[in-house]
Amino acid sequence: MDENFTTWTEYFIVNKQSLKPIYWDDPYKLDPQEYATIARSIQQFQIGESSEGKYLIESAKRYLSGNPDKSYLQALIHFVHEEQRHAQDLALFMHKQNIPTIRKHWVDQTFRKLRRFATLEQSITVLLTAEIIAAVYYDALKESTKSRTLIELCEQILGDESMHIKFQSDALRQFARKRSKGINRLIRFSRLFLLYGTMTVVWFYHGKVFRAGGYSLMAFIKGALAEHDRSERIIEQRTHRP
């Protein structure tokens, strides 16, 4: 990475120290309809947030070998810890609502395998796609429940995910700025292709939550594409060599 990522490490540290309190003692229990809508969906997202990031961090270490600036690696580790906090908080909410956690799901396993055998840039692209989807999903989840705890938890995660999209986009910008305009155009298309494929799977498994949160299929696609466009604008900043 040519750009110093120290400011991102500082952000993650400050964010960890300034989290808004979540009302964990809310006595509200999901009614049968809410439970049926949310349970299986939140199980899948919880496991998706729980990655140790081992292969991603190792990939970053290999990429940065010989580079004295390890600020990106430090920021990446803080990012992984933040994702793990999401998993822990979701698991706590699930425990209070008698929703069991799951150990594996084929969608999560597929994404992990993609990252395991991918280059650092490809791994970041997969992560970015997940962050874009999450930015819409947690908004729908927030609107689909009367649980104060879940609403506040979704609001916290939404704030984090917005910054995660910027973080991943900043990292991808470092790769893009070294390539020609034509190659970047092809890679932008591949990111969009991956997003559309992911949206198809996510809607199939989580459509109940989106609909309960007021999202039609087209609204979901529109929301994800808006986040995608925001990301692409960041990636394209100063990407082309003079």
Q: Looking at the domain assignment, is residue 17 inside a domain?
A: no
Could you state, in chain order, the average pLDDT of each consecutive group of 10 residues for the chain (242 residues)? 87 95 95 96 89 84 86 96 95 96 72 70 92 97 97 97 96 92 95 96 95 98 98 81 36
pLDDT of residue 113: 65
Q: Looking at the domain assignment, is residue 91 inside a domain?
A: yes
Residues spanned by the domain of 168: 31-236
The dihedrals phi and psi of 68, each to the nearest 5 degrees, come to -70, -20
Crossing angle of helices 120-143 and 32-48, in 10° steps, is: 160
Q: Looking at the domain assignment, is residue 99 inside a domain?
A: yes
pLDDT of residue 67: 82
Number of domains in the chain: 1
Q: Looking at the domain assignment, is residue 9 inside a domain?
A: no
pLDDT of residue 117: 65
Q: Looking at the domain assignment, is residue 13 inside a domain?
A: no
The domain that holds 39 is classified in CATH as 1.20.1260.10
Q: How far is CA 9 from CA 6, 13, 58, 71, in A?
A: 5, 6, 18, 8
Tokens describing residue 54:
């081992």
Residue pointed to by tokens 């003692």: 25
pLDDT of residue 241: 40
